[in-house]
Amino acid sequence: MNRNDAERIKKVFQSDSKVLITTSYNFTPKAVELAKHLSEEYGIPYYNRRHLNEKIREGSVDFYYVIDNNLDLSIRLGDTRLFFHPGISKIRMENFKREGRDFLFDAIRPSSGDIVYDGTFGLGMDAIFMAHFVEKVIGTEVSTHIYRIVSYGLKSYKSKENWINSAIAKIELYNEDMKEFISHQQERSFDIVYCDPMFENPIYESSSLNPLRPFAKYDTINDDVVRELMRIAKKRVVIKSLERDNLLDTLSIKFDRVLLSRKNGLVFACIDLDK
């Protein structure tokens, strides 16, 4: 996927999207039953897979949910497929065990009893990694479609890696806007607060986040939001960005630490409240 493809898909999604749910080909009765159940839960129509191409030709569907015969849930938009997987979190843990260092780990400085708030949950790859080291991760994801895919995956996914299953069990996810959510939280509600807004200048090639982009909310943060994040944190606030983005330059908040990964240009800006 390149920038033009991403922008075209995003425009389709940002219009009044027409969406339905179906199954994979050669569907099983269990897959049909679950698809019909989710049709009612999500308030979107169910169609037999045999009729899908007809609906696409009619222009009566922009993208669609699929329940496959393993009862996994995904979204299809053209050649794009959005589904839940722990992907990068697994690779990150393997690197951490081998090298003894990870920029996210160094940024959040976790303790086993910490409660972490992840305000921009996305696919949850950072959250799964963080959850391994703390007591609980509470996340919010504003996109209803991303939330549905990820929350379903968190409940149904079973890994061969025990640490992933244990980490997922420590995650609570809510379909809420971060700014609304934090406005209702008491002071010092969380030990660590983590915010990872969508990048301004993402790397489209070979990115595991490409399927997420059409469904994501491209809202940014400002000083007022960061102050609210600081209000609800006990130990620290960590904001993730890219070196080539302008987000951190737009903030007047003073950061105590800024960690830069030269390998991929990721920046973790840290406000340490317990120093």
Rounded to the nearest integer, the mean pLDDT of the chain is: 89
Q: What is the mean pLDDT of residues 73-88?
A: 90
Delimit the domains of the chain by residue range. Answer: 3-83, 87-272
CATH topology of domain 3-83: Rossmann fold (3.40.50)
Task: Give the per-residue pLDDT at 201.
Answer: 54
Rounded to whole angstroms, the Cα distance separating 236 from 155 reads 29
More confident residue, 213 or 157: 157
Q: Is the pLDDT of residue 12 over 60?
A: no
pLDDT digits (tens, 9 = 90+) for 39-70: 999 999 999 999 898 888 888 888 999 999 99
Burial of 252 (0-12, 13-18, 19+ CB in 10 A): exposed
- What's the rounded mean pLDDT across residues 24-51? 95
Q: How does pLDDT run across 124-151, given as a tens digit for each residue?
A: 999 999 999 999 999 999 999 999 999 9
pTM exceeding the 0.75 threshold for the entire prediction: yes
Q: Which of 271, 267, 250 is nearest to 259 (CA)?
A: 267
In the chain, what is the straight-line distance between the N-terminal and C-terminal CA atoms, in Å?
43
Buried b (16+ CB within 10 A) or exposed e, 180-193: ebbeebeeebbbbb
CATH number 3.40.50.150 given to 87-272: yes
Mean pLDDT of 216-220: 78
